[in-house]
């Protein structure tokens, strides 16, 4: 009977880890989508401002795109770091 409890415990732990991972993924996706939406809004503002001004708009547009990419990626890296810490603390 004891041999059946060990795999059940492993299965339960694996399912718990999977659920936790999916929750982190959903949270990160929501935050990332928000960052992308904010970035698109800022990009629209910069493009409309640059239509009125002479010169190259590419520098400001490039900085907005880079900032948006950084903000969209950050939630995933943070959640992955949290997940690794949790898994390491359980070992």
What pLDDT, in 10s, does the model give residues 34-90?
Answer: 999 999 999 998 888 776 666 666 778 889 999 999 999 999 999 999 988 988 887
User: What local confidence, expressed as pLDDT, does residue 51 receive?
Assistant: 65
Quick check: 64 and 42 in contact, CB under 8 A?
A: yes
Distance CA 91, CA 87 (A): 7
Q: In sequence order, what are the residues at sequence separation of 6 or more whose Cβ sits closer than 8 angstroms to the Cβ of residue 17?
A: 87
User: What local confidence, expressed as pLDDT, does residue 33 receive?
Assistant: 97
User: What local confidence, expressed as pLDDT, does residue 11 receive?
Assistant: 87
Domain residues of the chain, as ranges? 19-90
């Amino acid at each position: 009977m004891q041999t059946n409890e060990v795999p059940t415990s492993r299965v339960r732990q694996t399912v718990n880890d999977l659920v936790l991972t999916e929750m982190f993924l959903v949270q990160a996706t929501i935050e990332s989508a928000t960052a992308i939406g904010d970035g698109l809004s800022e990009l629209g503002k910069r493009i409309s401002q640059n239509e009125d001004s002479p010169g190259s708009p590419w520098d400001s547009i490039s900085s907005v795109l880079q900032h948006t990419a950084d903000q969209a990626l950050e939630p995933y890296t943070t959640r992955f770091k949290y997940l690794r810490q949790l898994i390491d603390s359980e070992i």
